[in-house]
Amino acid sequence: MSNFIREAVSKEKRRYQKFGFDLDLSYITPRIITMGFPSEKFEAAYRNPFPDVMNFLDTFHGGHYKVYNFCSEKPYDGDHKIKGEYCYFPFDDHNAPQFEIIPKLCKDVDEFLARDPKNVIALHCKAGKGRTGLMCACLLIYFRDCLHAWEAVDFYGNARTYDKKGVTIPSQLKYVGYWSSLLLAHLPYGQRKLKLVSVTMKPIPKINEDLRIKMFLWKTLQCDKDLGTVKNTRGKDSKIKREPDLDLFDKVYDELKQKNPNVTVREAVCAWDWKMREQVGSDKFGEDSVTFNVENVNLMGDVKMDVYSQKLGELFTVWFNSWFVKDNTLVLTKMELDKGVATTSSWHQTSH
């Protein structure tokens, strides 16, 4: 019965069903394994049982494997539970990662695989598909198994799923593209500060009076060694507000501070909160678009835009990185928006 439930949960993902094993697990290359979350207790009834995953890795790759966990909502003490090596690069489900994670992951994997030709890596998030696929595709590009982002995404999708739908979240696909463009151009990644001056919606959204837009930035926090608390490096007088819905580091903070009291973590904070109903005047409205001017909003690095209605809830979100914005203008089509039902056919953001 448990195997039947696990197969139902894994849906279109390929399973490893050999030598007595039945796991939500796939070899993307001979040295890259992707899998669902290694679970315990009740979750083990419908996800990969932790002991079975470890048994698999110890049986076929004993002493030569490293597990990478991308699941922010499900931390575990891999250093003590896993016989092999373990590394944690958390980010939220259905979201893009901090871009800095990608080169760090590639470097760490490169160093581990270079130590021994027998070494393999096992990547997982919760379902072992979207976040795992994003990072796997970036590794395929890094190791030149694939040259372009679309090739890496297709390669992963074919190896991991039956329906060839591995990475499907637009922002996650965008970040694979970012990484590919960086490597193809042989350019380093850096920080670029932009000032958001306007947001244009085209056509004018039908849900206008109830519309609300928020933009989030990652801010560095420090774990205080003596007090065991998290301090915002912007200081007490900062006007940036904490967003309670994005508490991914709160969930892992206790574990992190026990291992390293001086560890640096980050959280998403709201940099801009705009409400349609608070806007006055009609001079911003065109025939088929509306433009909102913005004052004193600086953006840098990874930015999340969240658009929602007070009545209908979240309409869509989108991630982008300021380093990759060309000509001070970012145009987002409907196909590039994550989640929900987009009520606009095009977004046009201007920054400088």
Cβ-defined contacts of 84-90 (< 8 Å, 24+): 84/57, 84/58, 85/112, 88/252, 89/135, 90/248, 90/252
pLDDT at 246: 37
Give yes or no on whether 2-184 and 195-351 have one common fold.
no
48 and 76 Cβ atoms separated by less than 8 Å:
no
The model's pLDDT over 12-59, given as tens digits with 9 standing for 90+, comes to 788 889 888 999 999 999 999 999 999 665 564 557 899 999 999 999
Is 270 a catalytic site residue?
no
| CATH H superfamily, domain 2-184 | Protein tyrosine phosphatase superfamily (3.90.190.10)
Identify which has the larger pLDDT, 83 or 352. 83
| Domain locations along the chain | 2-184, 195-351
Q: How many CA atoms lie within 13 A of 184 on its CB side?
A: 12
- Name the active-site residue from 125, 138, 146, 223: 125
Segment 305-324 shows an average pLDDT of 87
Return mean pLDDT, the chain: 79
pLDDT at 118: 98
pLDDT at 351: 58
The model's pLDDT over 212-223, given as tens digits with 9 standing for 90+, comes to 888 888 765 544
Give residue 79's Cα distance to chain centre: 23
- Which CATH number is 195-351 given? 2.60.40.1110
Residues in the chain: 352
DSSP conformation class of 58: H
Q: How many CA atoms lie within 13 A of 333 on its CB side?
A: 2
Flag the least confident range among 28-32, 142-146, 333-337. Answer: 333-337
Percent of the chain at pLDDT above 70? 72
Flag the least confident range among 107-121, 195-209, 259-273, 333-347. Answer: 259-273
Segment 186-197 shows an average pLDDT of 91
Identify which has the larger pLDDT, 2 or 206. 206
